[in-house]
Amino acid sequence: MDASEISRDGSASTSKRHSRNISYSNRTPLTRRTTKGPLDIDDPLAPSTTTQAPIPVAEAAPVLMPPTPSTTTTSNPLSPSKPPGLRPRSRSPLPPSISTKDLSFLRHPSNFRKISQTDISPPFRSTPAAPDTTLPALLRQGHYYRAALLAVSSLIIDSDLSQKEILELLYVRLACLTLLNHTPLAGKESLALGDIHSPFYLDDHNECILPWELRVLAVRLQALEAGDARRGVQGYYDLAAYARRRIRGSGDADVRGLWKDRLRDLGVRAGNALVEMGDLEAGRRHFKTLVGATTTTEENTVLSSWIAMLCLRMGDLEKTRTWTRGDRLAGGASAINSSQLAKHDVLKPLLNMAEGEYGIAATEWRSLLQSPHNVLAKQNLAVCLLYTGHLSETSQLLEELVNDNHAFYALTFNLATVYELSTDKSRDRKTQLAERVAEGLRKNAADAEGRRIERSNVDFKL
């Protein structure tokens, strides 16, 4: 790793160098590594069906500036329960460490950047939250901005934090910034960790004291901050090598299963990194190797859907058609149930949209309105109707989704675009849309658990 080393006295040095942003689409060594045979437990990477698709939708991420941390934090902000939604469902049962590391360098105020609510849409700034709300409660309610501030204030102010609490609070801070689309800011703050593979982070049992989820997140953030996407791919393979050692060294079936799941997750993350750096062909071949390494037909179905989406994004419509057919899946079409085939049904109208056949695609989307993919179908049906000149029906469909408490980024952005095309007072309509979404999230707080509350102006094209 070319990340900064952590000195023996516990201080963190700055990054040794930063690579320039360059294109890696023709780098043969990386492509050659990703086109080897199917990956299994003995190979560093394997797939996961719980990680997001290989083409992540990134929202705009303005860099914000925070108020001074509150002094009303509790001595243990992580109690009474651990924050849900930002950590794996289970942890590796490791033996207790005999000695404790000096992690005071991770709590220095200079490690953290200031953020503010300037770019957060006004209706979401006023979302109420009691001053004494605990960190787990903030995370459950989707108040990631306030959670990021509370994590920093706890790190700086509380003097009796344990080693575990320091690392957990640091992870919450970086994860919240990422969820708020402040990834560049999170990348700068992640440099305080230095080299996450350093022997400094090993305890007396030769186990890494850093939480697994923090290590995985730090790999991506430090690679983005260095401007070197290849470094992120290499970091995932380094973590995979560590995971394989845990599998081979454990006789507990539950522990082995946990590390196998982490290997699958790393496999998908490596493919995501290839797509993120713009090497779509290498990403496609990487995911293709994962198809043969999975053990269930459903996992193969998900992976083949991702490959089809990559081919569609690359403009290779013929290969997209091939991957939408069941004969490319393990066991053939006869081994796939109707719910699994439905995941491929959504690719057919997308393929027609790519070919400019919006009328045919609209008919296919209408047939899926009663399926489990009804929200996706209605959203894309509205897009097809927009391209065929049915602006009023487009607006009606998108408004229905908002009224049903759906407020994902693509929906609000598309509806704001419709306002711009249909009225001269689009700014007023977009402001009203932001207020409706904010009110809906507040009224349905129980159903919207874990959803991001703070929405930026970019979400509504303001």
Q: What is the pLDDT of residues 147-201, one digit of tens each?
A: 999 999 999 998 889 999 999 999 999 999 998 889 999 999 999 999 998 999 9
Q: Which residue has the higher pLDDT, 443 or 224?
A: 224
DSSP code at position 167: H
Q: What is the pLDDT of residues 47-87, one digit of tens each?
A: 343 333 333 333 333 333 333 333 333 334 444 333 333 34
Residue 99 is assigned to a structural domain of this protein: yes
Q: How many CB atoms lie within 10 A of CB 28?
A: 8
Q: CA–CA distance from 462 to each of 126, 169, 233 (Å)? A: 17, 33, 36
Domain count, the chain: 1
Q: How many CB atoms lie within 10 A of CB 251?
A: 6
Q: How many CA atoms lie within 13 A of 138 on its CB side?
A: 24
Domain extent, residue 80, equals 28-295
Residue 187 is assigned to a structural domain of this protein: yes
Residue 426 is assigned to a structural domain of this protein: no
Residue 218 is assigned to a structural domain of this protein: yes
Q: What is the pLDDT of residues 134-162, one digit of tens each?
A: 899 888 888 888 899 999 999 999 888 99
Residue 243 is assigned to a structural domain of this protein: yes
443 CB-contact burial (10 Å; exposed 0-12 / middle 13-18 / buried 19+)? exposed
Q: Which two tokens stand for residue 100?
A: 């404790």
How high is the pLDDT of residue 455?
84
Residue 451 is assigned to a structural domain of this protein: no
Residue 395 is assigned to a structural domain of this protein: no
Q: What is the pLDDT of residues 412-435, one digit of tens each?
A: 999 999 999 988 889 999 999 999
Residue 154 is assigned to a structural domain of this protein: yes
